[in-house]
Structure 1
Amino acid sequence: MSSSAGRGLVLVAEDEAAIAELAAMYLTRDGFGVHIESDGLAALAAVRRLRPVAVVLDIGLSGMDGIEICKTMRTDGDWTPVLFVTARDDELDRLLGLEIGADDYLTKPFSPRELAARVRTVLRRSAGSLPPAETYSAGGTRVDVIRRRVWAGEAEIALTSTEFDLLAHLLRRPGQVFTREQLLSSVWGYSASAGTRTVDVHIAQLRAKLGDESPLRTVRGIGYSADGG
């Protein structure tokens, strides 16, 4: 199934037909076109063929699972925003240590209205929602907010729009400790009721990408901060 609309095409890769159709209905109401695939290999082919503005990606697809699809996209240099849908907590646990480059996560069962809202949010971020500002640096990490580029040491690092916004938010206020709830509100635009584990996932991904140059610090029992430059 596919449809077209003015806000761009969203690929929904979901093997439960009822969930896929409901997601498509709400995304269509929001003005998006929607293309649905139920198989992982077909979904990856659709990403390459259709070049959607965003991908809603179920982890548990047949043929090729969602994590492998996302990793393949990033290896190909495709940084289209990806929102993962997970069926179980252990799937979310599986994401925690992986450098996969996803932009957001939802756990089933979820509200299709919430799904549509999160797609809108990741697209706003990928379009560049941060205001122009000076370059921020801490340790061996440097962030150019205007050009949305990041370096760890001498190496330029590719980040998702969400990873970039999270890193820049922390580096803007070096030494300040943010709770997960504060980060979820400021960077994602969600209330704490949306769940804060996605913050941990993105911090883990940033640390994996920045390596020894990472300035990110965990403050036990509170949240996260960035070391001063």
Structure 2
Amino acid sequence: MRIALVVNDTNLLKLLSTFLYSAGHKVEQFTNGETALQSLLDDKYEMLILDWQFPELVGAQFILSVRDKLPSSFPILFMTNRCGEDDIVAGLAAGANDYMIKPIRRGDLIARAQTQLRRAYPNQHTADYFEFGKYVFETGSATLTITGEFIELTQKEFDLALLLFRNLGRALSRGYIWETVWFRDVGGLSRTMDAHISQIRKKLHLHIDNGFRLTPVYNYGYCLNHFVRKPNESRFVA
């Protein structure tokens, strides 16, 4: 996807561009609001990400100008400081879809951008997107969100979690997990897998009160089960 990135701070502009490039996006960089606005009208972009304050153009004016010229489905994400509560209200009122508070984290930026792009262009986001209730996996950017909140995972943790969710209720052998996630059989190094399982269980809150339980299968491997609470009952059933 081609994204217009409008940031006055050149260091921040380069950093955010690197984040977006790593997720497979094409990024056009702008440090001048008026130049960016003209390019948005002349060229084709799939998304706009902008810093709130520019010397010559504040965020609300910029967003209103974009909304006046481009389709209402065009996604807009803006960034502001922690003290900018008024900016957040003004930006959303002007027509922005979402916002981020500085400092910007890579995973959070990619997850929010992917969410808006998926909503705006659903036909182009099918193969790299998996949803299991409140758990949403984006394979293109290797990001996971739970109820919209970004979860910090390593690449192997992400791969292992997605493998387990795509095989809900099915016991997976250690050998299969090794070959699928690590692409090799590492034999007796079971502590590596166990450590990753422990991190996933903790980070993803995979306990029965949350509707999921990740358990070892004796002398075999691991199994992730999904539980639902029956109406008028206090217990969960698989």
TM (norm. structure 2) is 0.49
The aligned counterpart of 2:93 is: 99
C-alpha separation in 2, matches of 1:47 and 1:108: 24
C-alpha distance in 1 between matches for 2:25 and 2:70? 24
Shift of 1:109: 0.8
Determine if the alignment matches structure 1 residue 37 to structure 2 residue 30.
yes
The answer (yes or no) to whether the contact 2:111–2:150 under 8 Å persists in 1 is no
CA contact (8 A) 1:81 1:123 kept: yes
Corresponding residue of 1:16: 9
The one-letter code sitting in structure 2 at the alignment partner of 1:72 is S
Aligned to 1:27: 20
- Runs ≥4 residues deviating over 4 A: none
- Partners of 1:15 and 1:113 lie apart in 2 by 22
Kindly state the Cα deviation for residue 93 of structure 1 after the two structures are TM-superposed: 2.0
Unaligned runs of 5+ in 2: 124-144, 153-238
TM-superposed CA distance for 1:185, in Å, is: 5.3
Q: Could you give the per-residue CA deviations for residues 17-75 of structure 1, whole angstroms, max 9, x where no partner exists?
A: 11110111111111111011111111111211222111111111122122211111112
1:58 equivalent to 2:17? Answer no
SS at match of 1:64: coil
Residue 113 of structure 1 is matched in structure 2 by 107
What secondary structure is seen at the aligned counterpart in 2 of 1:63? coil
Amino acid in the other structure paired with 1:81: P
Match of 1:190 among 149, 171, 174: 149
Gaps of 5+ in 1: 1-7, 130-183, 194-229
CA contact (8 A) 1:40 1:66 kept: no
Contact 2:2/2:28, CA 8 A, preserved across alignment? yes
Residue 68 of structure 1 corresponds to which residue in structure 2?
61
CA distance in 2, matches of 1:192, 1:31: 20
Distance, in Å, in 1 between the alignment partners of 2:46 and 2:18 is 17
Highest RCO, 1 vs 2 (Cα 8 Å, sep ≥ 6): 1
* AA matched with 2:23: D
Secondary structure of the 1:102 match is coil
- 1:144-167 Cα deviation digits (max 9, x unpaired): xxxxxxxxxxxxxxxxxxxxxxxx
Secondary structure of the residue that 2:67 maps to in structure 1?
A: helix
Give, in angstroms, the shift of residue 110 of structure 1: 1.4
1:190 to partner: Cα distance: 1.9
Point out the structure with max Rg over C-alpha. 2
- Would you say the 8 A contact 1:23–1:116 is kept in 2? no
After superposition, residues 114-133 of structure 1 pair within 5 angstroms as: 114-128=108-122
- Of all paired residues, the percent bearing the same amino acid is 25
Q: 1:49 to 1:68 in 2, by over 3 A?
A: same
> Is the Cα contact below 8 Å between 1:22 and 1:112 reproduced in 2?
no
